Chains A and B, each alone.
Chain A
Amino acid sequence: MTPHRRIAITGVGMVTPVGNDAATTWRHLTEGRNGVAPITGFDARGFPARIGAEVKDFTDAPAIDPKLIKYAARAHRFALTAAEEAFTDAGIRPEPDTAHDWGCSVGAGMMGVSFSELEAVHAFCASEGEFRSQGLLDPRFPADPIAFCRSQTNTGLALLTRHFQIRGYATAVHTACASGGQALGTALKVMRRGRARFMLAGGYDSMLNPIGLAGFCLLGALSTDNDAPERASRPFDATRNGFVLGEGAGFLVLEDWDHARRRGARIYAEFAGDGNSLSSYRITDSHPSGDGPIQAMRQALDSAGLTPEAVDYVNAHGTSTLMNDRSECAALRVVMGAHIDRVAVSSTKSCMGHLIAAAGAVEAAVCALAIHHGIAPVNANHAKPDPDCAIQLVLGQSKPLRIRAAISNSLGFGGSNSCLAFRHPAEVAAA
């Protein structure tokens, strides 16, 4: 088999519940600062879960055209600003003569229609009960073409490619909680296949609205520790009782390794491998044995040319649900074997909640920064060990650690599993 093209991560951008840029997010994650609080974006007092990990005091990056922002839903705005940060950080962006060499791969959230738009349709078409399609024809109905544009499945992709003038391969994926990871995995594959020399890759989501919150409340998937929001997300703790819904965006600038080296770019890490599998078990349940995630992790290591023993840090999916955490630990034990007692594991969802379609992308950015700074971020809120989760968690505080390689898991409703592998740049010469 021909050797893989090597891909460098040269830019990072984040908008998260613990920081509106990558540096703040990273500092707060390493400090174990918590981003969960009572929901402020709407009146959630009646919901079973009324806490969330909201992005706070968000402002769009000044470089984003306000005319474009009109077409952007909340998650798209996070995406544009995080992507702008990633490009600035990388010191490279599409130019007229390179626009065709740039691709874009995004993990996009599933929600397009705002609650107020839904209320308008309800008021005009269904306030009396039965849906009447004629209500939409009422001249007073606010049929807004801009709102229509905001609601399309690939709106975020369309806005990103337009704003940054990315004119090559472009794709949007949605596999629930695995979306961000799969978008990055797709980007890696597209680059290795020679379809793009540069990619903007990431994810964005915001389901912190009445309908999104309702969807997860109905499933009973959320922690209802409404009186102790900062402790509600406690992955791998024996008393965990559900995840905390978050929102945000994470983006990476991916660049051909040799190109990055030639221009003297700062390389956070090599984006070394991607694993992608389907559990094909049940739609929300994960197989207790870890079947599914096991294959994804093994593929990622194989794709990166890594042995399990070379992995020093795992950014776990670790949602803080009973089932995910147990199944993920089972999978980690199978894949890591005896090395499981030496590999540091943390779920940064303990601080920033679950960013759904953005989670995998943000957590990939966290892995790149963990390798770069030599720090494994803390798995916060862990008080009571769960014998079913006997892994070496980073407890108490973040841990200085030279990370040769890291992996990041994202496991979604519907059974899609993504695992991404990253290598320290200094290990590349040795590889």
Chain B
Amino acid sequence: MNSTPHIVITGAGAVCAAGLGVEMIWEEILAGRSHITPIRSFDTAGWPVAIAAEVQGVDNRTLVEDRKLHKTISRTDLFGLFAAGAAIRQSGLPEFRQRLEAPAAATFDDRSGVFAGSGGGAYESNYEFFPLLTAAAGDLPKFGRELCDTVNPMWLLRHLPNNVVCHVGIRHKFKGTNACITNHCAGGAMAVAEAAHAVTFAEADRAVAIGHDAPIEPETILHFNRLGLLAGDTIRSFDQDRAGTVLGEGAAAVLLEREADARSRGATILGEFLGSGCVTEALGVLDLRPDGDGLSRAIELALADAGVPARSVGMIVAHGNGTRASDASEALALRRVFGDDPPPITAFKWSFGHLIAASGVVDVTLALNCLRQGIVPGIPTLRKVDPELPSLPVSATAQAPRGDSALVLCRGFGGMNVALLVRADPAAPSV
């Protein structure tokens, strides 16, 4: 469609084990450094899996300065608010808004959207009831009677899955269309797609899209491991010895707006959003199709949405979560769409783990860096590409993109598959 506006990205923010900010994470990727380390957040003595990619050594006040807020939100929200704040600041929109007259500023607020992919569903949130359960000793009426003397009155609010949407709104005066997408791993990538749609279809003039998650909890690791989803050492995407994924935590965010608006206020354009596709394979919570049918359909939809042929794609950031089944089906999907000549492929989870609801958004921010700097970083943990897989251009060392667009893939529980297509000018000013 020629009449639809170009949607550009003018701000990006991220936090994960590999660093605070997109640039720091990018440097760690280029340096080939993995931030998968022994878990510190709980005692792993005796645990079969004792590694993750935790955000360590970062003070909560570095993430969110307002200490009062810390009492009413949870860890995942700190990450989400940090990333969203960084993306909004980088866009220069706060200064732009400050110069507006009051009525224009009110319109600006009402036309600013917030879309979050939220991990939600934490087990540990319920652990705040443990002292009460101990005191009640199985006596439910006692549990009810002593409830208000024992548990923090703000308990429910602290664990609302939509806290990031709410507090990004309050802190940045964004009051427009919004969604909190609780679709497991796909949530963040879908938030980017929905934010772009909201701007394309004039439901908002700009929108921030965030993915945030903090899944490194004992119960989650216990179950993921029992289901055979976790590796004991590292993530080896597409490697013959890949043994599973590793959980990470963090958040990423991008600010999307119309290209004309960004240019008229002289904003730095980090990249362009071209299109998206989203489908489910309809197999329930855990299963996925061995043939990669859902992923290839999502890619085809994203290409059609962008109105570009598969051969124009310059590079691919694969989901590459390192599990046997997901990587194998992903490889088949890529070959189905790109034939025997796919563009260079990489994946980033080897460095900072699988960020679950945040994974798709952090990959978008890094894909823009790849395109601007003309580097498709290698996967250092890749020793031997799985000979059972159809041949793919993945490498332990860096490749070069063969065009100015990148396909970013994101998959999750529920048979979810999301494909995003972004573009960036090579050698544009660094972030």
Contacting B177 at CB < 8 Å: which of A100, A195, A276? Answer: A276
A422 close to chain B: CB less than 8 A: no
Contacting B413 at CB < 8 Å: which of A104, A154, A412? Answer: A154
User: CB distance A50 to B144 under 8 Å?
Assistant: yes
Q: Once the chains are docked, how many angstroms separate the CA of A162 from the CA of B119?
A: 22
Q: What residue of chain B has the Cβ atom nearest to residue A119's Cβ?
A: B133
B179 close to chain A: CB less than 8 A: yes
User: CB distance B162 to A414 under 8 Å?
Assistant: yes
A residues 71-114 with Cβ under 8 Å of B?
Answer: 71, 99-100, 104, 108, 110, 112-113
Q: Once the chains are docked, how many angstroms separate the CA of A420 from the CA of B151?
A: 37
- How near does chain B come to A220, taking the closest CB pair, in angstroms? 8
A residues 268-285 with Cβ under 8 Å of B?
Answer: 276-284
Residues of A within 8 A of B120 (CB): 110, 153, 174
Residues of A within 8 A of B145 (CB): 46-47
Q: Once the chains are docked, how many angstroms separate the CA of A137 from the CA of B46?
A: 8
B425 close to chain A: CB less than 8 A: no
Main DSSP-derived SS at the B contact region: mixed
Q: What residue of chain A has the Cβ atom nearest to residue B170's Cβ?
A: A280
Interface size on A, residues (CB 8 A): 90
Contacting B219 at CB < 8 Å: which of A132, A136, A166, A167? Answer: A136
- How near does chain A come to B293, taking the closest CB pair, in angstroms? 9
- How near does chain A come to B199, taking the closest CB pair, in angstroms? 12
Interface bits B277-290 vs A (CB < 8 Å: 1, else 0): 01111111110000
Residues of A within 8 A of B283 (CB): 162
Q: What residue of chain A has the Cβ atom nearest to residue B44's Cβ?
A: A133
A62 close to chain B: CB less than 8 A: no
Residues of A within 8 A of B415 (CB): 158, 161-162
Residues of A within 8 A of B142 (CB): 46
User: CB distance B148 to A217 under 8 Å?
Assistant: yes
Residues of A within 8 A of B412 (CB): 154
- How near does chain B come to A123, taking the closest CB pair, in angstroms? 9
User: CB distance B121 to A153 under 8 Å?
Assistant: yes
User: CB distance B143 to A173 under 8 Å?
Assistant: no
Given contacts A154-B413, A280-B170, A413-B160, contact A145 B226 (CB under 8 A): yes
- How near does chain A come to B221, taking the closest CB pair, in angstroms? 9
- How near does chain B come to A154, taking the closest CB pair, in angstroms? 4
Q: Which of A12-20, A29-37, A207-215, A375-383 participates in binding chain B?
A: A207-215
Residues of A within 8 A of B134 (CB): 122, 126-129
Q: Once the chains are docked, how many angstroms separate the CA of A44 from the CA of B143?
A: 9
Interface bits A188-225 vs B (CB < 8 Å: 1, else 0): 01001101000000000000001100111111100000
Q: Once the chains are docked, how many angstroms separate the CA of A166 from the CA of B415?
A: 11
User: CB distance A152 to B201 under 8 Å?
Assistant: no
B174 close to chain A: CB less than 8 A: yes
Residues of B within 8 A of A284 (CB): 157
Interface bits B168-197 vs A (CB < 8 Å: 1, else 0): 011001111111111110110010001001
User: CB distance A100 to B114 under 8 Å?
Assistant: no
Residues of A within 8 A of B44 (CB): 133
Q: What residue of chain B has the Cβ atom nearest to residue A178's Cβ?
A: B162
User: CB distance B416 to A170 under 8 Å?
Assistant: yes
User: CB distance B175 to A278 under 8 Å?
Assistant: yes
Interface bits B63-104 vs A (CB < 8 Å: 1, else 0): 000000000100000000000000000000000000000000
Provide a sorted-by-A list of 30 A–B residue pairs whose CB atoms are within 8 angstroms.
A1-B202, A46-B145, A71-B285, A100-B279, A113-B126, A129-B131, A132-B43, A143-B223, A149-B286, A152-B413, A153-B118, A153-B184, A153-B187, A154-B416, A161-B280, A161-B282, A168-B279, A170-B183, A170-B416, A172-B181, A176-B162, A186-B194, A193-B201, A216-B156, A217-B148, A276-B203, A278-B114, A278-B169, A278-B175, A282-B170
In the A-B complex, the 6 residue pairs with the closest CB atoms: A46-B144, A215-B156, A46-B141, A280-B169, A414-B166, A47-B144
Name 19 extra pairs, CB < 8 A, besides A280-B173, A414-B180.
A1-B202, A45-B141, A47-B145, A110-B121, A118-B129, A131-B42, A133-B42, A133-B44, A134-B45, A152-B184, A158-B284, A173-B179, A173-B180, A182-B179, A186-B194, A214-B129, A219-B154, A283-B167, A413-B162
Interface residues in chain B, defined as those with a beta carbon under 8 Å from any beta carbon in chain A: 42-47, 72, 109-110, 114, 118-121, 123, 126-127, 129-131, 133-134, 140-148, 151-157, 159-163, 165-167, 169-170, 173-184, 186-187, 190, 194, 197, 201-203, 218-219, 222-223, 226-227, 278-286, 294, 297, 412-416
